[in-house]
Structure 1
């Protein structure tokens, strides 16, 4: 076999005008940043390649790095013809791409991360696309937006979602153009092109993306960015993640700190790669964000109560997922109370267990118990294999539909939210009751104290974008709770129903009066556990210990 290690420009010369280019990357993890930036330099120098359509399993960028660095320059060039469109499940780490989306400058499509990750596997198998129920009744449904994030995307329909009927049930078929060239990243490649990923934070979708480029009827090229080159046949067999036949060119990144970081804040760290396991300590757990607002702690505590009830019921550690926002504080609280071993938590791109990092490092975990490929992780979500999920929310409507992140001036993309929320058998949405300026909420002696509320209502008759469908969840028999610092709602066939209120709260004034619709209110509304409303965490710990002892866990 020929030596596949080549100069970056030789490898990138296979990218032609009009090509569809697939690029791996969940933030900076598995992002081939050197290939991305060098391809853009070629365009700036020669005007070629141009008119590219880019597809990623997530988004190979964080602010000012990777693809965001490219879009920041493209945004200033009103006549750019480097990129004509993108399919990106999440664009929130690229402010420039979000602005280009809102200004209708290029086609932008946003399928869920799990859907896009699966899609690579499906087209690699020669299938027309991905068939799934995920997205029914949401903005992904073709009867609404079909995954298009702006008007030009709705017009061009380069990526499409079609409604199907199978055995009398509705399904969605997700399609997109297949890649002509794929950029992926590994740690080491031998001269034949076998690729290992021993220093990467996870495997992501790199194998399936390489396979997708090679699938018939129009097989293309795969270029891999690595840190090291090994001699032929010297990478241990079980370490090879992408075998040589799937690789056409190997390019070595010249500067790992500049082009090959394991995550936004780390160049490399064996704890993130899972090659070194450290004991959980207070120092490590301090990496978890801690709530600086008592209202956030209350909501997180209420979710923790629900999860510990489930531990007591199922008599096993819970397999689950915690989203961004208030749900991350659930993990912190569990650590404070010594309950971490009761939660086997996952992160979308593949880590199971460990301490999941946040911000620009989201996606990796310190000392995970396992790391699996991203499509397989999303199988755990979509198949309802996990026991629960807790996710954040920005807006909720009377039917229980949820918008987690969209506003009229922000189009971040759905991320992993649609698959996790649609598949999990139990989802506990958690967030503050209101948002915006002026919030002054306290708690003491078992009561909630609302001094003033935010100026933005979150329970609205209509929401900006439906990303979770309440009616579909009811149809599928899911258990859905909506948890805030002052009230807990449950989802019923009739929509949102008030289940619990905080002690010290007036239902009409503090709940219904701060909503743009009136939920169903039963004759008897339960009271949220008073132990949530103390400055000290000790009453909550005692309450939770009681739940676990009653269930025979402690």
Structure 2
């Protein structure tokens, strides 16, 4: 039996010039820091190994030189294929200066390509990346002019567009675990995430390559239960013990938190609440879009505050929060622990989570935004002259049923104050986020419209929605001036037709009662019956159909109300500031068709929104329902009285 435990110095000597290496890690978590440090040390002392190709999914570093940021030295790398460059700014700089070749592929694609490599397949077909900078028609994921080889190609299969991502064979996998026995069996009991360590190890091993594992402790053979072995020893060549605790931190801000690794469960009621600043305001408004009983992904930055709001508002038992890194359920962590979760229900491998996402498993995602233009295109990957990378943004935003982009309206020094239920801009940000044309398309608004994907853009002072005609302003915070605080800080004028006020609860430092709102507990109060005139009034003003469950709830409330009358009635529906998710118009129209045919003598509807009138006219007429929708309440009442 071979003892695979060795020194980190010896393990590094096995890496050859021009090898293709892959490393694990997600943002600041699960990074084999000692392996990165030893690779850097050997190169600085010996000048080898050199001209390596680095493949990695997410950013794995602190943005200040740790993690893969250690590999920036000229000559060490010749090519990088990564989902994120922002965590290794000097490597990104080398790419921008044409010193190395580089590709920015979607994080989920790279994660899935590990399995493709392991299976000996030539590449991966996916729709992820279509109509973004990854699409060969828009750059093919290349980050500079030095990069010439095409590793992303466009194909038409049975009339549908697909992208083919070429697999790059892996020579060395740098992975991390908790325990290892001398035979190389690896367990991960004290890790926050499992990521892609198994797929990476298999990809390198099956290519005749090298697998080096950094672990926290060495245990005797046979002491790890077979079901706890994450990477079997047959795939592992070298096991290296991290003898310095700082080289094996759970993440750069936490030495070890057993609640993140699932070793214990902790009470969540007393978790600290967020301060009522712009980040919390944005998270609060975004939380109004949460789908009870749905699966949700939250991005880094302002979006990860939604997890804290869900906890404050007692929503956590009613939704399942997830991260692309693999955490399912619990209270998602932020900061240096982003990607993991306290009291998680499960931790999946990263490639399996992206399978779930790409297949349409997500009901909602909330993601950050660096730039947005009049077409609803979003840039989060290359802006301000800085190469950041897309991370999992493209996989997640393209495949989620509904999307909320969340971020401050301006950037760089923005300060706001919430006072008496109103918002005041204390200091405006220096940089505009809403620009005439984004620097790079990470999310295509046009493509989303074509697929009827519901998309909102939430800021601390206003909310936009995506329409076929472009970005439409739909909500303004109380206390905010339209001309000065919104239009005066934008690079284009959005569609302005039917603007309402953001919910004042968002700007008050007290619980919002959001659970009742999301569960439609008070929906029955929107329906009243005038027995004398035999009129049923349905007040949908300011209400939103965001998910199928909302239609089901409305159906029950209306049916109960209609049946209680014991006769057919005349119905008046107020649809002012009423919003329907783009992909749910047909389902709503079907409900109206059924209710009208079964319970109504006549029905009139009214709304001041020209877009809603046009949209509903098109949708209802397809189902043979009287499509006219009046512009005002008076017109509607006059019409139904005449009928």
TM-score between both structures, scaled by the size of structure 1: 0.88
Q: Of residues 131, 141, 151 in structure 1, which corresponds to 2:145?
A: 151
- Counterparts of 1:512 and 1:551 in 2: how far apart (Å)? 35
**Which residue in the other structure is 2:268 paired with?**
280
Q: Of residues 460, 485, 493 in structure 1, which corresponds to 2:435?
A: 460
Q: Of residues 483, 501, 509 in structure 2, which corresponds to 1:536?
A: 509
- Counterparts of 1:269 and 1:451 in 2: how far apart (Å)? 38
Give the number of the structure with larger relative contact order, counting CA–CA contacts within 8 Å between residues 6 or more apart.
1
Q: What whole-Å deviation, never above 9, does each CA across 1:97-137 have from its counterpart, x for those lacking one?
A: 23323322222222122111111112212221221111111
- Counterparts of 1:324 and 1:35 in 2: how far apart (Å)? 26
1:501 aligns with 2:484: no
CA spacing shift, 1:509–1:14, aligned 2, 3 Å: same
Secondary structure of 1:143's counterpart equals helix
Which blocks of at least 5 consecutive residues in structure 1 are unaligned? 75-79
- Counterparts of 1:448 and 1:270 in 2: how far apart (Å)? 39
CA spacing shift, 1:242–1:403, aligned 2, 3 Å: same
- On the 8 A contact 1:305/1:544 being kept in 2, the answer is no
- On the 8 A contact 2:313/2:515 being kept in 1, the answer is no
Q: What whole-Å deviation, never above 9, does each CA across 1:352-393 have from its counterpart, x for those lacking one?
A: 223333233322222322111111112232222122111111
CA spacing shift, 1:445–1:27, aligned 2, 3 Å: closer
- Counterparts of 2:430 and 2:459 in 1: how far apart (Å)? 16
Q: What whole-Å deviation, never above 9, does each CA across 1:219-267 have from its counterpart, x for those lacking one?
A: 2221212222222232101101111221122222222x13212111223
1:483 CA drift (Å): 1.4
Q: Of residues 522, 536, 552 in structure 2, which corresponds to 1:550?
A: 522
**Which residue in the other structure is 2:318 paired with?**
342
- On the 8 A contact 1:28/1:261 being kept in 2, the answer is no
**Which residue in the other structure is 1:68 paired with?**
69
**Which residue in the other structure is 2:39 paired with?**
39
Q: What whole-Å deviation, never above 9, does each CA across 1:30-85 have from its counterpart, x for those lacking one?
A: 322222222222222322221111111223322332222342xx2xxxxx322112
Which blocks of at least 5 consecutive residues in structure 2 are unaligned? 525-548, 550-643
**Which residue in the other structure is 2:3 paired with?**
3
**Which residue in the other structure is 1:527 paired with?**
501
**Which residue in the other structure is 2:628 paired with?**
none
Secondary structure of 2:211's counterpart equals strand
CA spacing shift, 1:83–1:451, aligned 2, 3 Å: closer
- Between stretches 56-65 and 170-179, larger displacement belongs to 56-65
Q: What whole-Å deviation, never above 9, does each CA across 1:446-486 have from its counterpart, x for those lacking one?
A: 54445664332221111111111112212222111111233
1:203 CA drift (Å): 0.6
CA spacing shift, 1:274–1:168, aligned 2, 3 Å: same
Rg comparison, structure with higher value: 2
1:411 CA drift (Å): 1.3
CA spacing shift, 1:64–1:509, aligned 2, 3 Å: closer
CA spacing shift, 1:374–1:341, aligned 2, 3 Å: same
- Counterparts of 2:353 and 2:440 in 1: how far apart (Å)? 26
Q: Of residues 248, 266, 288 in structure 2, which corresponds to 1:260?
A: 248
1:27 CA drift (Å): 3.4
Q: Of residues 333, 357, 365 in structure 1, which corresponds to 2:333?
A: 357
- Counterparts of 1:225 and 1:463 in 2: how far apart (Å)? 41
- Counterparts of 2:401 and 2:370 in 1: how far apart (Å)? 21
Q: How does 1:27-426 map to 2 (within 5 A)?
A: 27-62=27-62, 63-71=64-72, 74=73, 80-153=74-147, 155=148, 157=149, 160-215=151-206, 218-255=207-244, 257-282=245-270, 285-286=271-272, 290-291=274-275, 293=277, 295-307=278-290, 310-311=291-292, 316=293, 318-404=294-380, 406-426=382-402
Equivalences, count:
524
- Between stretches 198-207 and 18-27, larger displacement belongs to 18-27
1:530 CA drift (Å): 3.1
Flag as ranges the 4+ runs of structure 1 deviating above 6 A.
Answer: none
